[in-house]
A and B are shown apart, each in its own frame.
Chain A
Amino acid sequence: MNTLAPVIETLTVLIAEDSAADRLLLSTIVRRQGHAVLTASNGEEAVRVFTRERPQLVLMDALMPVMDGFEAARQIKQLAGEELVPIIFLTSLSESEALARCLDAGGDDFLPKPYNQVILAAKINAMDRLRRLQATVLHQRDLIARHHDYLLQEQRVAKAVFDKVAHSGCLNAAPNIRYLQSPYALFNGDLLLAAYTPSGDMHVLLGDFTGHGLPAAVGAMPLAEVFYSMTGKGHGLAQTLREMNARLKRILPVDMFCCATLLCLSTERRVVEVWNGGMPDGYVHEVVSGRRTPLVSRHLPLGVLSAEAFDDRTEVWPMALGDRIFLLSDGVLDTADANEQLFGVERLQQVFAANRHPDHLFEEIEQALAGFRGQVRDDISMVEISLSPDQPLRSPTLVYSDSGQASPLDWSVSFEFRAETLKHYNPLPYLLQLLLEIHGLRGQSGALYSVMAEVYSNALEHGVLGLDSSLKCDARGFADYYLQRNERLAQLSSGYVRVHIQVLPTAAGGCLTLRVEDSGAGFDVEKVLALPQEVDRLSGRGLSLVRQLSSDVHWSDGGRSVCVEFCWEALA
Chain B
Amino acid sequence: MSKEPILKVSHLNKFFKVKKRKLIEEKKYVHAVEDVSFELYEGETLGIVGESGSGKSTLARTILGLIPSSGGTVEYKGQNITDFKVSNSKMLRSELQMIFQDPYASLNPKMKVGSAIAEPMLINGQAKNKEEARQKVKELLQMIGLQPEVYDRYPHEFSGGQRQRIGIARALAVNPKILFCDESVSALDVSVQAQILNLFNDLKEKLHLTYVFIGHDLAVIRYISDRIMVMYLGKVMEIAPYDEIFDENTHPYTQSLISAILEPTTEPNAERIILEGDIPSPVNPPKGCRFCQRCFKAQPKCFEEEPELIPVSADHQIRCHFAKVGENK
> Do these two chains interact?
no
